[in-house]
Amino acid sequence: MRVDICEGWLSGATRCLSPNVNERPAGATISLLVIHNISLPPGQFGSGCVQQFFSNQLDCDAHPYFDQLRELQVSAHLLIERDGSLTQFAAFTQRAWHAGESCFEGRENCNDFSIGIELEGTDSSAYTEAQYIALATATASLMQAYPALSVDRIVGHSDIAPDRKTDPGAAFDWGRYRQLLQGEQLSL
């Protein structure tokens, strides 16, 4: 898995372009990785609804929960599904709309300088080994492509928006992720 630094795309990821992106501010350096979770409807996996939601194609009448999503325009750079497959919605060079109101080390608007990765899951459902492997592999590739990213600049959405967000949640095994990431870094 490699990142095309000029274009900002990850090899091996399916592209599903989101309109919910814009340009990063001039001079912005990618220096933060934010891990999220999502499932649509909540707790249901493999529905394809996340891809539809991030591309503004979700039928908001198809499920009662979707009504609250009707006016939202959000995206992430990557989605890692339960089987480890990757979908990329925005080039890493673009600002995806994933973090919302957020702050890291006193710097607000984390979308300006971060990459957002969504794991298909919930705060309380165990993530799959395939997801951890895909996440560690993608992270190692991103760290190689964007040197300002480092292990200490990987956070959960809950870390940058603690009053609003809880993801990736208690079910996310940070130790397992960091163990796999260490192995990936050594193999690069």
Strands 21-23, 9-10: pairing kind: unpaired
CA–CA gap between residue 77 and residue 97 (Å, rounded): 9
C-beta neighbour count of 144 within 10 angstroms: 15
Regarding beta strands 9-10 and 3-4, do their DSSP bridges make them parallel or antiparallel, or are they unpaired? Answer: antiparallel
User: Could you say which DSSP state residue 24 is in?
Assistant: P
How many residues comprise the chain? 188
Q: Do strands 103-104 and 94-96 pair parallel, antiparallel, or not at all (unpaired)? A: unpaired
- What sign does the CA torsion over 173, 99, 28, 91 have? positive
Instruction: Give the span between the Cα atoms of 185 and 2, in whole angstroms.
Output: 13
Angle at Cα 9 formed by Cα 88 and Cα 33, nearest 5°?
70
E strand residue ranges, 27-99: 32-38, 78-80, 86-88, 94-96
Active site residue 23: no
- Identify the active-site residue in 7, 71, 105, 118: 118
Catalytic residues: 118
